[in-house]
Amino acid sequence: MTSPEAKKQIQELTDKINYHNNLYYQKNKTEISDYEFDQLLVNLTQLEKEFPELKLPDSPTQRVGGTITKEFPSVVHEYPMLSLGNTYSPQELEDFDGRVAKGLDGEPYEYFCELKFDGVSISLKYENGILVKGVTRGDGVRGDDVIANVKTIRSLPLKIKSKNVPAKFEVRGEVFLPKHVFKQLNKDREDIGEETYANARNTASGTLKMQDSSEVARRKLDCFLYYLLGEENNVETHEESIKKIESWGFQVSQTYKKCKNIAEVLKYIEHWEKKRNDLPLETDGVVIKVNNLRQQEQLGFTAKSPRWAIAFKYKAESVSTRLNGITYQVGRTGAVTPVAELEPIFLAGTTVKRASLHNANEIARLDLRIGDFVFVEKGGEIIPKVTAVDLTKRSGKLQPVKYISKCPECGTALVRQEGEANHYCPNEDGCPPQIKGRIEHFIQRKAMDIDSLGERTIAQLYDLGLAKTPADLYDLKKEDVMKLEGFKELSTKNLLQGIEVSKSVPFESVLFAIGIRFVGKTVAEKLARHFKTMDALAHATYEQLLEAPEVGEKIAQSVFDFFHRKESLREVERLKKAGLQFESSFKEPEKLSNALDGKSFVISGTFQNYERDQLKDVIVANGGKVLSSVSKKLDFLLAGENMGPAKREKAEELGVKIISEQEFEKMIK
């Protein structure tokens, strides 16, 4: 393909992707399947790899990440990022209103109310319509530019399409993990034996500071905007600026309302107190802003916060109830979770009987005793949590909780690895919830996708001794299934058919399905594509595992251990005999040249013309190999900006050649 042809195609693909993205995120509509959409992105990525100089500054491929940022540049905010004065009481709100009225010398004024989104604030800078900086709040004066991560937020325009956009402006808003995304993230983590995250806000904050933007892209952050700054915005009220940023394609929560006076504000507050629980993200209050921008200016700022705005915070609903006992749940990976059994109590619309206690540390931190009265809180739709003991109600003779030492399901002595918060039941092959959980993991959609099987059927199969491992599913006969409660001719046929069809799911999914601890869907994909076959993976040494993308010591050890247990080897062998896919059908991108045949590279730092993943692909496409650590065998250390000093020292010590991005480009030209 010639450069002009590529340019045309890049533009066409970009337009198409942007069109569908906009349809999906702004209008909640779809015209093509997820697969077709991904295919468009893959094609564009491929073209950008071949013609890096043609990559557009607002390319939608940035949504999928790929940049590694070792250290985020610190940036001084053009306008400091202040916080808001807080109040929990209507009376203080009236006082605020009084101060506003006084500050405006009797002039009429209006308020603009918004919800207070509980996320991480971000400042976005646009120049000539293009998103150029995404800066965290930091200490309010300077923050970190996390632009590569911000660009993965799909609802954010990378380029403003509207005409008449000021050459420079800034929008601020709140980055968050939607509740359902956070829930799924924790479910996925639990499923592969990772510890779960405590709350959506901190997770969003941690995600925004991750070095690998492709991981950020997978986390699916979202963002609501609520503040426009700049010198040429041509707006007189906050309402106008909100409407303006909406028309430019920014996502604005449709929960705002203009209010004539503080009585209306109080109504708004009351209206959202309960309803906010139905919103897709967590909110912790209401922000009340004077609507007119000239009046805002007149009111000005104190050292810490604006005089023209205030946050009314909802009190977290908290009730005190008796802790009747603690039970313990055992998950698929053997992780034990303690659960508080509570005297039933009404809280924020539902009756609460149980609350998660996470782990032994949490019980110790709360200093819980059976019979204690404890405070229980609920945040949105998240599971209720025990926040503290009501010490005023503690009677003298209660004993501190002693954590169990044996598995409540199978009686095996529990273990706790150093540095881990959870206790585990090590009886992988004999503990019922672990066995059933493994089969449930195996059949899920992202894995073998056997939707004719569900939790209840699996429990029955297990109880009847028909399925103790996933491989047993492939030995099921019609007469076995007919023994299950409620199964007749047709449902039996369906069930067996579902199992049969699963034999064709790709190797990537099979590898995820077999349930290696710490191997989630993405890692399974990377492993499958790197090693190509189950056999190669099973025979890989620990060091070879470490060479695969996304694989660190923890995962390498877990995969290595898995393939060195005779139980798992036997299971894998049976699955192979059953006819599952054990080879990846993923096609490597076409080779561009043999220029780097037999040469190995370690990539370090950041680069001008390439994202990091791109660089990897370029090396592979030209016949080279990418390694993760510097050793004597390495041919080149490809040094970008901000390269870690340790790598350079090691390369110098071992006599490995260090090359720049420009030298590298000469090698492939």
Residue in the shown chain whose Cβ atom is closest to ligand IVH: 121
Rg, the chain, Cα only: 29
Residue 207's alpha-carbon distances to 138, 171, 179, in angstroms, are 15, 20, 15
Give 172 or 441: the residue with its C-beta nearer to ligand IVH.
Answer: 172
Collapse the DSSP code of 363 into the 3-class scheme (helix H, G, I; strand E, B; otherwise coil) and give the result. helix
Angle between helices 200-208 and 179-191 (to 10 degrees): 80
Starting from the edge strand earliest in sequence, which strands make up the sheet with 168-176, in order? 130-136, 120-127, 168-176, 222-229
Give 235 or 496: the residue with its C-beta nearer to ligand IVH.
Answer: 235
Query: Which tokens belong to 612?
Result: 């990091």
SS3 sequence, 526-562?
HHHHHHCEHHHHHCCCHHHHHCCCCCCHHHHHHHHHH
Smallest gap from residue 122 Cβ to ligand IVH (A): 8
Measured torsion, CA atoms of residues 339, 343, 346, 352, in degrees rounded to the nearest 10: 20
CA torsion sign for 427, 431, 434, 440 is positive
List residues near ligand IVH by CB under 6 A.
Answer: 82-84, 114, 116-117, 121, 174, 226-227, 287, 306, 309, 311
Cβ of 594: how many Cβ atoms within 10 Å?
Answer: 10
Smallest gap from residue 118 Cβ to ligand IVH (A): 7
Smallest gap from residue 294 Cβ to ligand IVH (A): 16
Smallest gap from residue 265 Cβ to ligand IVH (A): 14
Give 227 or 250: the residue with its C-beta nearer to ligand IVH.
Answer: 227
Give 242 or 528: the residue with its C-beta nearer to ligand IVH.
Answer: 242
Element (H, E) at 651: helix 645-654
Cβ–Cβ under 8 Å, residues 111 and 259: yes
Instruction: Round to whole Å and give the CA distance between 328 and 338.
Output: 4
Instruction: Round to whole Å and give the CA distance between 196 and 325.
Output: 23
Smallest gap from residue 348 Cβ to ligand IVH (A): 21
Collapse the DSSP code of 55 into the 3-class scheme (helix H, G, I; strand E, B; otherwise coil) and give the result. coil
Residues listed for the chain: 669
Instruction: Round to whole Å and give the CA distance between 614 and 621.
Output: 10
Q: Which of 49, 55, 116, 133 is catalytic?
A: 116
Instruction: Round to whole Å and give the CA distance between 241 and 232.
Output: 12
Give 182 or 227: the residue with its C-beta nearer to ligand IVH.
Answer: 227
Smallest gap from residue 418 Cβ to ligand IVH (A): 38
Query: Which tokens belong to 294?
Result: 């000239």
Give 272 or 531: the residue with its C-beta nearer to ligand IVH.
Answer: 272
Instruction: Round to whole Å and give the CA distance between 547 and 543.
Output: 7
Smallest gap from residue 349 Cβ to ligand IVH (A): 23
Give 59 or 291: the residue with its C-beta nearer to ligand IVH.
Answer: 291
Smallest gap from residue 238 Cβ to ligand IVH (A): 9
Distance of CA 289 to the CA centre of its chain: 32
Give 205 or 213: the residue with its C-beta nearer to ligand IVH.
Answer: 205
**Could you confirm whether 258 is annotated as catalytic?**
no
Query: Which tokens belong to 465?
Result: 């001794």
Cβ–Cβ under 8 Å, residues 125 and 133: yes
Active site residues: 116
